Amino acid sequence: MRPRTILLIALLLGVWAVERWGSGLNPLHWSFGADGRNCQLVAVVDGDSLRLNCQGKTVAVRLHCIDAPEKQQKPWGNRSREALKALAPQQLELVAIEKDRYGRTVGDVYTADAAHVLLNLEQVKTGNAAVYVQYCEDKRFFRAERDARKAKLGIWSRKGEHQTPWTFRHSR
């Protein structure tokens, strides 16, 4: 086969794989260690926001794909923040995806240890955040939220406005 034909076949297989298995295969969500920036935790702002020190620069980070209760959504906002504090070690890896309208880096944040835990996903798995549907296409998050709802974890333990932080923000 000619190299051009092989390249075309590989490209088509790649497109098919993304369509078949979803955005978990989206290169924007991949982390290979070197692609992420090693950072130190400065502060947990709330259940979906952190301040990190990455190579001497303070970076405001908004966790991709999730929306956690606001601080004013008592007690859920505090619970979500405390859960993220408990999850986040000092050493983290930031995989930046984009900037939001407030200039924050939106990204995936992993523990920098061998477990390489995705904090964003853990917040959803434990019921401490909801999937921010309009900004997420990663099926892992939707499965995690469905499981947390079924198990009545965290914000899913009882009905209320705390389950939709985006509605709370717009109602004030």
Residue 70 annotated among the catalytic residues of the structure: yes
* DSSP element (H, E) containing 37: strand 37-46
Predicted confidence at residue 74, as pLDDT, reads: 84
Tokens of 156: 């899913």
Residue 41's Cβ-count burial label (10 Å; 0-12, 13-18, 19+) is middle
Residue 62 annotated among the catalytic residues of the structure: yes
Which of 37, 51, 104, 143 does the annotation list as catalytic?
104
Residue 122 annotated among the catalytic residues of the structure: no
Q: pTM surpassing 0.85? A: no
Predicted confidence at residue 73, as pLDDT, reads: 85
Give every residue of the chain whose pLDDT is below 70, as ranges: 4-35, 161-172
Predicted confidence at residue 21, as pLDDT, reads: 46
Task: In whole angstroms, give the CA distance from residue 138 to residue 97.
Answer: 13
Please give the domain boundaries of the chain with CATH numbers for all domains: 28-171 (2.40.50.90)
Tokens of 117: 């835990």
Which of 70, 93, 122, 145 does the annotation list as catalytic?
70
- CB count, 10 Å around CB of 126? 20
